[in-house]
Amino acid sequence: MDGAFISLAFFLIATFVAALVAGLSGFAFGLVAAAIWLHVLTPIQTATLIVAYGLLVQGYAVWKLRRALQWSRVWPFILGGALGVPIGIALLDTVSPAFLKVAIGSF
């Protein structure tokens, strides 16, 4: 089999499993996906995809539950994400990809 085909297969399997876990538990999409994505993608690509797919997966859940949300209790999480995601992406330039793979895989 071609290396690109195997990489694509790993990517798709990781995406499916991560979405399934997030759908069942309500969190952990990024951790589950990154554990496999980091073996076939760069850390910056992985971080970008985690944010994009996380918005899709969790955005759907928020849309379905929008009437039950108390927005006054949600804003600290939105603020934390708005601050934390750019900082985390900036750190990707300084952190070794090998270290990142081991750290996320261990976590």
Residue in 93, 73, 9, 84 with CA at minimum distance from that of residue 50:
84
pLDDT in tens, 29-74: 888 888 888 888 888 899 889 889 888 877 888 888 889 988 889 8
pLDDT of 15 > 80? The answer is yes
| Structural domain that includes position 77 | 3-106
How many domains does the chain fold into? Answer: 1
pLDDT of 79 > 90? The answer is yes
Q: What angle do CA 60, 88, 92 make, to 5 degrees?
A: 120
Residues in Cβ contact with 31 at an 8 Å cutoff, skipping those fewer than 6 apart:
104, 107
For residues 80 and 36, give the distance between their C-alpha atoms in angstroms, rounded to a whole number.
26
